[in-house]
Amino acid sequence: MTDKYADPRDRAFIADDNARLSKDLDADYAALGTILQRRGLDIDAITNTVASFGVAIPSWGVGTGGTRFARFPGRGEPRHVFDKLEDCAVIHSLTGATPTVSLHLPWDYTEDMPALRQRATALGLGFDAVNSNTFQDRPGQPLSYKFGSLTHTDAAVRAQAIEHNIDCIRIGQLLGSKALTVWIGDGANFPGQQHLGRAFERYLESTAQIYAALPADWRMLIEHKMFEPAFYATVIQDWGSSLMAAQTLGPKAFCLVDLGHHAPNVNIEMIVSRLVHARRLGGFHFNDSKYGDDDLDTGCIDPYRLFLIFNELVDAQWRKAPDFQPAHMLDQSHNVTDPIESLMTSAIELQRAYAQALLVDRQALSDYQQGNDALMAAQTLKRAFTTDVQPILARARLQKGAAIDPVGAYRRSNYRNECANKRPSAQNFGGGIV
Ligand code: LRH
Ligand code: MN
């Protein structure tokens, strides 16, 4: 392994790195092609569909994350949103699967937003939903969000939070974004602390004003969460509250499903199916978890659950479900890995679940379901899930000029060392996810 630096966004570097691997890939791809052909499936068609899949990178995910106890910064941490864009471009050039970035305001605020858009365009990146933030106070902020924001009992605090969200829409328009994600931590830690009904009514009143400021071609994505930072009741605690709010606000309001925002063992694919039925599935924050909102790498704990979610998405596509256009985003906290490596492998885990879901024999499944042949129905899903689609994922990347072995190529580029040389090491060891 040389310690010479090579830009991992350089097509020639990637092509050179692929040269060693393409012969084996061709053999594996041909072998899988034969297996799928026996199942009546065209591997090239599936590869093209997988290659068209894109997921947005959370800007807050390219720096090392932490917990409330501590954050242990890594080497060459991004210092600001422009550094974050450079790192996002590395992820996209090596995976071909992450063409957009989801910003968080004010964490990513910069004076010159048009310059940020220009740099993103030069790097081949676009902007997905912008995320507002009324779950923290910032220096000089007149009114505190300690007891809530859009649902605070004080109308002045609500007005401040509404203004911030409308400001996020204005900034998003400068970036070419088409959606605002609203997650609030508003809630209570004690029974009795908050009137559960009035808090929800204040939420609807506040979000109606934000909704009114949405451009015609924008969406509002409402993100529910069971708990944290509130530990007794959260105003938008579950998909039911989120759906009620979306249906009350209007046709541009949709529900965003963050996988980590549910109690362990909740059937999230069922929630997805209901939101598809209600025509309000706005999108996802993909991650994985074992206990709470752990924000772990997608597919690292329960890849079968991820597959079952994509099975619902592919089924909705197959049934041509109306108003079905979910936005795919990652939302993770990388506390012990190189964030770039975690984001690359997470994007690939999404493509893996998608590819496996595309292998499901939907007619056979429907017939077994109709005939109540429970075992064969379950086996039909398992057969797709247990198919090693690695050659399809690598070929999809190769077709897009990306890397057959993204993590290997990234390490061989010495990009992290280069960043460590260029970017002074971060000194903030405090707690918190960013
Ligand atoms: C809340 C959340 C939300 C973001 C934040 C960074 O837990 O999932 O989507 O605003 O994480
Ligand atoms: Mn989220």
Q: Which CATH number characterizes residue 144's domain?
A: 3.20.20.150
- Between CA 412 and CA 429 the distance in angstroms is 29
Does the CB atom of residue 341 touch ligand 1 within 6 A? no
- Is 152 contained in some domain? yes
C-alpha to C-alpha distance for 85 and 98, rounded to whole angstroms: 12
Indicate whether 408 belongs to any domain. no
Distance (angstroms) between ligand 2 centre and the Cα of 134 equals 14
Tokens of 12: 């020639």
Residue nearest to atom 1 of ligand 1 (CA): 183
C-beta of 338 in contact with ligand 1 (< 6 A): no
Q: State which ligand 1 atom lies nearest to the alpha carbon of 258.
A: 8
- Residue 352 has which token pair? 């893996």
Q: Is 67 among the domain residues? A: yes
Give dist(CA 397, CA 96) in Å, integer: 6
Ligand closest to Cα of 168 equals 1
Q: Which atom of ligand 1 is nearest to the CA of 185?
A: 1
The answer to whether residue 44 sits within a structural domain is: no
Q: Does the beta carbon of 225 lie inside 6 Å of ligand 1?
A: yes
Residue 145 structural domain: 53-360
- Find the 151 Cα to ligand 2 centroid distance in Å: 19
Q: Are β-strands 100-102 and 126-127 bridged in parallel, bridged antiparallel, or unpaired?
A: parallel
Domain assignment present for 419: no
Q: Give pLDDT tens digits along the chain (434 positions).
A: 567 999 999 999 999 999 999 999 999 999 999 999 999 999 999 999 999 999 999 999 999 999 999 999 999 999 999 999 999 999 999 999 999 999 999 999 999 999 999 999 999 999 999 999 999 999 999 999 999 999 999 999 999 999 999 999 999 999 999 999 999 999 999 999 999 999 999 999 999 999 999 999 999 999 999 999 999 999 999 999 999 999 999 999 999 999 999 999 999 999 999 999 999 999 999 999 999 999 999 999 999 999 999 999 999 999 999 999 999 999 999 999 999 999 999 999 999 999 999 999 999 999 999 999 999 999 999 999 999 999 999 999 999 999 999 999 999 999 999 999 999 776 555 666 66
Query: Is there a domain that residue 393 lies in?
Result: no
**334: helix, strand or coil:** coil
Residue 346 lies in a domain: yes
pTM, two decimal places = 0.97
CA angle 133, 270, 355 (to 5 degrees): 85
Cβ of residue 200 lying under 6 Å from some atom of ligand 1:
no
Q: Is 295 in the pocket of ligand 1 (CB under 6 A)?
A: no
Total count of domains within the chain: 1
284 Cβ below 6 A of ligand 1: no
Instruction: Give tens-digit pLDDT for 150-165.
Output: 999 999 999 999 999 9
Confirm whether 413 is domain-assigned. Answer: no
The ligand 1 atom at the shortest distance from the C-alpha of residue 135 is: 10
